[in-house]
Amino acid sequence: MKILLVEDDKLLGDGIAAGIAQSGLAVDWVLDGQQADTALATGNYDAVVLDLGLPSLSGMELLRRARASGKTLPILILTARDAVEDRVAGLDAGADDYLVKPFDLTELQARLRALLRRSNGHAEPVISHGELRVDPASHSVYWSGKSVDLSAREFTILHTLLLNAGRVMSKAHIEEQLYGWGEEIESNTIEVFIHHLRRKLSPQLIRTIRGVGYMIEKITP
């Protein structure tokens, strides 16, 4: 899954970007509101972490534009503005969460997991799918009760397919979930990861839809 980070403080932004990536999420980082507006118009993101005090275009104006254009992705405001009226204004403008600086990185990671989980219709923190159990918080995976060791990118692909169970994910979409700007992608990378997941879990878990992409079947209760 991919996050857009909008933060003009280079030192802080570097740390936040590293923390988001550490939690298994791809991240694109921009330094001003106008860049963020362009990124949202041209890219596909699962959530936004948004500072308010930005050059070029304020965080509040960016938030209003995003909601006015019909974008429904979760937006978490991350700011030093801690007054109650600022929080109320941010939430009323369309933010889904509001975290005040200074903050603990583990709390930001947990809030992002919660936003992503709810935006994909999952109330429970652990995703269950037949014999498969996936815990995004600990990056732990169990098949038939046995722990399975996955690489960070194998986990991200599995998590993405599970959150979209019943829908076909194109190779290009999966690549977007794995890589941020400037990261080199080899032509057969996704195929290799899918092969590893089938070998470690089950050959039948992930279906290949020829010419389209990959999917995990939805299990109906």
The answer on pLDDT for 12 being more than 90 is yes
Q: Is 24 left (phi over 0), alpha (psi -120 to 50) or beta?
A: left
The answer on pLDDT for 115 being more than 80 is yes
* pTM (two decimals): 0.73
Structure tokens, 160: 């993405």
H/E/C letters for each residue in the chain? CEEEEECCCHHHHHHHHHHHHHCCCEEEEECCHHHHHHHHHHCCCCEEEECCCCCCCCHHHHHHHHHHCCCCCCEEEEECCCCHHHHHHHHHCCCCEEEECCCCHHHHHHHHHHHHHHHCCCCCCCEEECCEEEECCCCEEEECCEEECCCHHHHHHHHHHHHCCCCCECHHHHHHHHCCCCCCCCCCHHHHHHHHHHHHCCCCCEEEECCCEEEECCCCC
Binned at pLDDT 50, 70 and 90, residue 121 comes out as confident
Binned at pLDDT 50, 70 and 90, residue 120 comes out as confident
pLDDT confidence of residue 110: 92
57 alpha-carbon distance from chain centroid: 24
pLDDT confidence of residue 103: 93
pLDDT confidence of residue 123: 66
The answer on pLDDT for 122 being more than 90 is no
Structure tokens, 173: 């979409």
**Considering the chain, what is the average pLDDT of its residues?**
90
The answer on pLDDT for 91 being more than 90 is yes
Binned at pLDDT 50, 70 and 90, residue 221 comes out as low
Torsion of CA 68, 25, 19, 34, to 10 degrees: -30
Average pLDDT for residues 70-83, to the nearest whole number?
94
pLDDT digits (tens, 9 = 90+) for 150-186: 998 899 899 989 988 899 999 888 888 777 665 666 6
Q: What percent of the chain has pLDDT over 90?
A: 70
CB 113 within 8 A of CB 101: no
pLDDT digits (tens, 9 = 90+) for 15-40: 999 999 888 888 999 999 999 999 99
**Cα separations (Å) of 180 from 21, 24, 30, 66, 176?**
9, 12, 12, 21, 7
